[in-house]
Copies of this chain bind each other. A is one copy, B any other.
Amino acid sequence: MARTKSEDRRQAILSAAATLIASEGLGAATASIAKAAGVPSGSVFTYFETKNELVNQLYRELKLELVAEVLAQLPKKDPKKQLHHIWTRWTDWGAAFPEKRRVLAQLTVSDEISAASREHALKAAAPTLEVIDQVRQQGVLKSRSLAFVGAIVEAMAATTMDFMIREPKQAAHYREAGFETLWKAIS
């Protein structure tokens, strides 16, 4: 049997792509990504059919990673506690991996990302949305769609992470201020 595709290599490429896209934007060359990943340029295409495919997979993996992080050890308690748990892990993740957060921000507004990929990420995030939905149904936005409320949460998380990254010493304060603001907004 021939060599099997190496998951390590795949991850190396994905990781290099994240780094380069974070610093150079989506214009980052596949050859540069390969070099940064320590693989020959052709290998990018043995692991991803096209650059577009690579970028979409990167988007999915980052979203999944974030979701997994956010849902880990989710308490069974009341929605507010749960939302706070999610919020904390979410923003801490962003502050810990500013590069990943930046890439996600760029990919999210890019039209390279397919509807299917967005859908995929949305499904993975279902448990998170479930929590948000419970908060929503008890709050002032009960008559608005979950999508809208979810988007507001995302927007506030993004803003909060940006400031946590910008002023690391104040990170904890921003994180809490962000949550309080969010809670007042949607509860």
A68 proximal to B (CB < 8 A) = no
The closest CB in chain B to the CB of A180 belongs to B140
**Could you tell me which residues of chain A, from 19 to 69, have a CB within 8 Å of some CB in chain B?**
23-27, 40, 42
The closest CB in chain B to the CB of A155 belongs to B155
Beyond A140-B184, A158-B155, A181-B186, is A25–B110 a contact (Cβ under 8 Å)?
Answer: yes
**Bound-state Cα–Cα, A151 to B174, Å:** 12
Contact partners of A156 in chain B: CB under 8 A: 152, 155-156
**Could you tell me which residues of chain A, from 104 to 140, have a CB within 8 Å of some CB in chain B?**
105-106, 109-112, 140
Report A143 CB to chain B, min CB distance, Å: 8
Taken together, the copies of this chain in the complex come to 4
| Size of A's binding interface in residues, CB under 8 A | 37
Q: Does the CB pair A162–B152 fall under 8 Å?
A: no
**Bound-state Cα–Cα, A140 to B176, Å:** 12
**Bound-state Cα–Cα, A105 to B158, Å:** 14
**Bound-state Cα–Cα, A106 to B108, Å:** 10
Report A58 CB to chain B, min CB distance, Å: 16
Q: Does the CB pair A141–B181 fall under 8 Å?
A: yes
Q: Does the CB pair A159–B152 fall under 8 Å?
A: yes
Contact partners of A111 in chain B: CB under 8 A: 23-25
* Chain A residues packing against B (C-beta within 8 Å): 2, 23-27, 40, 42, 105-106, 109-112, 140-141, 144, 147-148, 151-152, 154-156, 158-159, 162-163, 173-174, 177, 180-182, 184-186
